[in-house]
Amino acid sequence: MKKNSNYRLLLSYILSYLLIFIVPFSIISMIFYYNSVKSLREETELSNINNLNNIKNMIDGRMKELNDIGALISIDWKLTPYRVSRNEFRPDATTELEKYKQNSSIIDDLYLYYFIQNNIYSGNGQMSMDAFLKFRTNLENTTTELFVSNLKNIDYPGISTDIKPFGSNPTFVYPLPPGSVGTYGVIFMKLENTFFENMINNILGGYEGNVFIYDHNDQPVSTFSNDSTIFNPSVIDKILGNDSRIQEMKIENINYSIVKVKSEVSDWSYMMALPTNQFFSKVSKFKTFMLLVFLFIAIVTSAITIYIALKNFHPIQKMVDIVKRKETSIEFNSKNDLENLSVLLENLYIKHDDLNNKYIRQKPLIRDQYLTTLLKGQMKTINKSNELFDSIQLNLDGSHSFVMVTALTKNQLSRLDMEKLEEAAGQLLKSAKIYGVELINDKIIAYIINGKFNSKSEKNMFLTQFKQLLTNDSSMFIGVGKTYTGKNFINRSFIEASAAFEYGKTNQISNIVHFDEIKEHQETDTIWLPKSHLLKLTQSCKQGNIEIADEAVDSLIIWLQNHVGPNHLLKHLKYDLVNTLIKIASETGISLNPSAIYYQYDDTNLQQFQKILSDLTKEICNKIAEKKESQKNQLQLDILEYINTHFQDYNLSLENIAKDFNLSASYLSRFIKEETTKTFSQYVWELRLGEVKRQLIETDLPIKNIISSVGYIDAPNFTRKFKKTLGLTPSEYRNVHAKNWVKDPEKSF
C-alpha cells in the first residue's frame, strides 16, 4: 500500500512538471517555427527577384550605353554619308569609328552602313557589302539585297532577334535616324558572345535551371539552360502572359518555381525557372533542421523535467523518512506523504519560534557588527551578509549620511542607554535616523545619522541639542564628518569625524568641531592632503610622466612632514595616497599588486614610504606609456592596412578614413605623413600606380579598364600623371615592359 501511495505521488509530480513545460514550449515553438520558415521563404524569393533585377538593370544600362553611342554617331559630322564616301575624309571617319568602339568594353566590332552606298565602314576601313557578308558574317549564302531589305525594316534601336549576322554574338542595331520614316542607314554593333551568358551564369550559380530573356515583342533574345527540361513555346507564352512575379508550374512532372521581372525601360521580360526543390532548398533544410532542434530540445528538456521531478520528490520522501527515524515524538497517521510533510512543517515552525527567540537575544550584537562594518567601509562584507543584516531592520535608505564621534567618561558610559538616546535624538531630527555604536578599541562612540537635512542650520541645531542629551559637561568634544549621499561613504565621514574629534580635543577650539570648518580655524595648516597635489599626481600618472609624478610625490611627502597629525590620521593619509594611485591604475586598465604595497609601507617612516610611492608611480607611468605606445602602433597598422586594402575604391578619401577611425582629418593627415613620409594623396597614388604597372605587364586588359579598376574615373588625367611620373604613357609602358616580363618577371618593375 505504501508503494502504491509513493507511486501515485511520484507520477503526479512528473505529470505536473511535464505539463508546465510542454504547453508553453509547444506554443512558442509553433509560433517561432512558422515565423522563421515564412521569413526565410520570403527572403529566398526576394533574393531571386533581386538577382533578376540586377541582370535587368545591367542590361538596361548596357543598352543605354549602346544607344548613346549610336546617337552620337548619327550626329557626328565626320561620319556623314558624304565624308565617308570621300577618300580624303575616310581616314578620319575610320579613326572616329574606332574611337566609338573603344569607348565600350562590350563591343567587339562596330559597322556603319548607308543604303545609298555599297560599302560598309568600320574602324578597320571599308569593304563592300558582298565582302562583308562573305567574310565577316555567317550569312555568306544571303544575298545583299535581302540583307539590306531586312536592315531597312528596322525601325528602333535594340538587340536584333531577326538579323543575326554574327552567329552567337548578339547584334545591336541602330537605324539612322530611329523611327519608321526616312531611314537612310544603319549602325550595327557586334557584341561579345558572353554578353548575356556571364550574367546568367552569375545568377544561377550552382543551381540547375533555366533563364530566359524576351524582348518587347515576346521574341527570345537569349536563353540559358543547364538542365534537361524543355520549355516549349506554349509554356513560355503562359509564363509571359501571367503578371505574377513568382509562379508555380509543373513541367514534365517536375515542379518549377518561376520568377519574372519586366524592364520599364526596354519592356523586356526576364524569367528564371528553377526546380522548386532547389528554389526553396534553404527553406527545406531549415525546416528539417528546426524540427530536429525542437525534437532534440523536447527530448532533452523532458528528460531534465523527469529528472527534476524525481530529484524534488526523493528529498521529500527522504525528509519524511529521516523525521520518522529521528523525531519519534512526531506521529504520522496519513498515508499521503504531503500530509505527513505538513505535520513536519508544523513542528518545524514551533522549533523556529525557539530559534527566533535566541536570535532576538543576539540582535544587538549583529546590529553593532553591521554598524562597525559600515564605519570601516567594508561594503563587500555587507553585501555578502545582506540577508543577515537586513533582518535587523536598520533603516539606512535616507538620501544623506554623516557621522559624529565623541568620547565619554566611565561614569557617562555607565549611565548611557543607547536605545533611549537614539529614540530621543530621533525626536530632535524627525527627518533622519540616528544609530550609535561604541568602538572599544578606539575608546570612542560613533553616531551614524542617515536621512534628509533641509539646511545647515537645522543640522547645527540638532548637534547642539544632541550634545545636551549626552551631557552638560562643557569639556566634551564632538567631531562631525562631512555629509555624503547615501551610505556608501559613511566610512569617509567617520574618518573625517575622528580627525575632527582629535583636532578639537588637541586644540581646544570648540565643543563641536566640523571637519569641513577646520581650515577656517587654521589659516596655514589643513587636515587633509592638498587637492592640487593629488590632481597633479593623478594627471601626471595618466600621462605617463614620471618626472612630474615624482614631483607630486615629493610635494605630498613634504606636506606630510610639515603637517604631522595623529598616527591613525597619518595612516589614513598614506592609505589615501596609495588608493589614489591604485584608482589611477584601475581607470587606465593596468594591473598592480596592492596587497604587497600595503604590507611594505604599513609601519614605514615617511622616507621609506616616499621610496615605495616613487616606485609605484614609476611602474604605473611605465605601464601607461607602454599601453599608449602599443595603441599607437596598432592604430598605425590598422590605418595603413585599411588604405592598402581599399586604395582601389572610388570614394577613398582622407575624410572618409578619418570618420571610420574616429579621428580628425587633420590629425590623420599628420599621422600618415609621420609614418610614411608621404602625404595621403602621394601614398595612395603610389599604391594605385604600382597596381596599374602590374596589370599593364601581367594582363591584356584594356588600359581604360585597368585605370578604372584602381579607383580612377578620369582616365586621361591618370594618363597624364602616369607619363609625368614614369616618362611613358600606359600603352608605351606596356610595350616596353611586357616583353621583359616574359623573360624576367622580377626585373620588370
* 432 bridge partner residues: 451
Q: What integer pLDDT is reported at residue 748 of this predicted model?
A: 47
- E strand or H helix at 107, and its extent? strand 107-114
> Nearest CA to 204 among 107, 310, 307, 275?
275
> Nearest CA to 394 among 406, 402, 386?
386
Residues 510, 403 share a domain: yes
20 in a structural domain: no
Residue that is written with C-alpha cell 532534440 in the block: 296
Residues 678, 615 share a domain: no
Domain boundary residue, one of 567, 602, 620 = 620
Q: What integer pLDDT is reported at residue 186 of this predicted model?
A: 92
Say how far apart CA 446 and CA 479 lie, in whole Å: 9
In one-letter notation, the amino acid at residue 525 is D
Residue 746 has pLDDT above 70, yes or no: no
Say how far apart CA 603 and CA 735 lie, in whole Å: 84
714 in a structural domain: yes
Cα dist from 675 to 15, 229, 625, 634, 686, whole Å: 71, 62, 19, 12, 15
pLDDT, one tens digit per residue, over 370-394 is 887 777 666 666 776 666 666 667 7
Q: How far is CA 505 from the centre of its chain?
A: 60
Residue 328 has pLDDT above 50, yes or no: yes
Residues 506, 442 share a domain: yes
Domain boundary residue, one of 501, 521, 541 = 521
Backbone angles phi, psi at 121, to 5 degrees: -115, 145
29 in a structural domain: no
Q: Which three cell numbers stand for residue 202?
A: 552569375
Say how far apart CA 222 and CA 310 lie, in whole Å: 70
The mean pLDDT of 284-303, rounded to a whole number, is 75
Q: What is the secondary structure of 655-706 as a DSSP string?
A: HHHHHHTT--HHHHHHHHHHHHSS-HHHHHHHHHHHHHHHHHHH----HHHH
612 in a structural domain: yes
- E strand or H helix at 231, and its extent? none
Helix axes 730-743, 715-726, angle to 10 degrees: 60
Q: Residue 724 belongs to a domain with what CATH number?
A: 1.10.10.60
> Nearest CA to 667 among 659, 352, 615?
659
* Burial (Cβ within 10 Å: 0-12, 13-18, ≥19) of residue 308: middle
The larger pLDDT score, comparing residue 76 to residue 527, is at 76
Q: What integer pLDDT is reported at residue 13 of this predicted model?
A: 64
The mean pLDDT of 460-467, rounded to a whole number, is 83
Domain boundary residue, one of 498, 521, 544 = 521
Residues 557, 463 share a domain: no
Q: What is the secondary structure of 550-566 as a DSSP string?
A: HHHHHHHHHHHHHS---
Q: What integer pLDDT is reported at residue 388 of this predicted model?
A: 64
Residues of the domain holding 576: 531-620
Residues 513, 402 share a domain: yes
Residue 432's region, left for phi above 0, alpha for psi from -120 to 50, else beta, is beta
Q: Which of 89-98, 498-507, 734-743 has the highest mean pLDDT?
A: 89-98
Residues 651, 743 share a domain: yes
The mean pLDDT of 287-302, rounded to a whole number, is 76
728 in a structural domain: yes
Q: What integer pLDDT is reported at residue 9 of this predicted model?
A: 61
212 in a structural domain: no
Q: What integer pLDDT is reported at residue 283 of this predicted model?
A: 62
pLDDT, one tens digit per residue, over 564-612 is 666 667 777 777 777 777 777 777 777 776 555 554 555 557 777 778 7
Q: What integer pLDDT is reported at residue 169 of this predicted model?
A: 83
Q: Residue 493 belongs to a domain with what CATH number?
A: 3.30.70.270
Residues 441, 481 share a domain: yes
> Within 13 A of 380's CA, how many CA atoms are on the CB side?
0
Mean pLDDT of the chain: 76
Strands 512-514 and 478-480: parallel
Q: Which three cell numbers stand for residue 627?
A: 599601453
Residue 151 has pLDDT above 80, yes or no: yes
> Nearest CA to 389 among 368, 404, 403?
368
570 in a structural domain: yes
pLDDT, one tens digit per residue, over 498-543 is 767 766 776 666 678 886 776 444 444 456 676 556 655 665 676 5
The larger pLDDT score, comparing residue 542 to residue 77, is at 77
Q: How many domains, the chain?
A: 3
The larger pLDDT score, comparing residue 552 to residue 702, is at 702
Residue 204 has pLDDT above 80, yes or no: no
236: confidence class by pLDDT, cuts 50, 70, 90:
confident
224 in a structural domain: no
pLDDT, one tens digit per residue, over 155-178 is 888 888 778 888 878 888 999 888
Residues 449, 401 share a domain: yes
Q: What integer pLDDT is reported at residue 326 of this predicted model?
A: 61
Q: What integer pLDDT is reported at residue 665 of this predicted model?
A: 67
The larger pLDDT score, comparing residue 323 to residue 449, is at 449
Cα dist from 137 to 127, 141, 161, whole Å: 13, 10, 16
Residues 601, 550 share a domain: yes
Backbone angles phi, psi at 207, to 5 degrees: -85, 155
Residues 489, 553 share a domain: no
- E strand or H helix at 391, and its extent? none
How many other CB atoms sit within 10 Å of the CB of residue 550?
18
Residues 510, 434 share a domain: yes
Q: Which residues contact 552 (CB under 8 A, 6 or more apart)?
A: 533, 534, 536, 537, 540, 617
Residues 705, 728 share a domain: yes
* 484 bridge partner residues: 401
Q: What is the secondary structure of 266-280 as a DSSP string?
A: T--EEEEEEEHHHHT
Q: What integer pLDDT is reported at residue 524 of this predicted model?
A: 46
* Burial (Cβ within 10 Å: 0-12, 13-18, ≥19) of residue 420: exposed
The mean pLDDT of 544-551, rounded to a whole number, is 69
Q: What integer pLDDT is reported at residue 522 of this predicted model?
A: 44
Residue 547 has pLDDT above 70, yes or no: no
Residue 646 has pLDDT above 60, yes or no: yes
Q: Which of 33-42, 455-464, 724-733 has the lowest mean pLDDT?
A: 33-42
The mean pLDDT of 610-617, rounded to a whole number, is 79
> Nearest CA to 208 among 170, 254, 261?
254
**Contacts by 102-106 with C-beta closer than 8 Å and gap 24+?**
102/702, 102/704, 103/69, 104/65, 104/66, 104/69, 105/702, 105/704, 105/705, 106/62, 106/65, 106/66, 106/191, 106/192, 106/195
Contact 578, 598 (CB under 8 A): yes
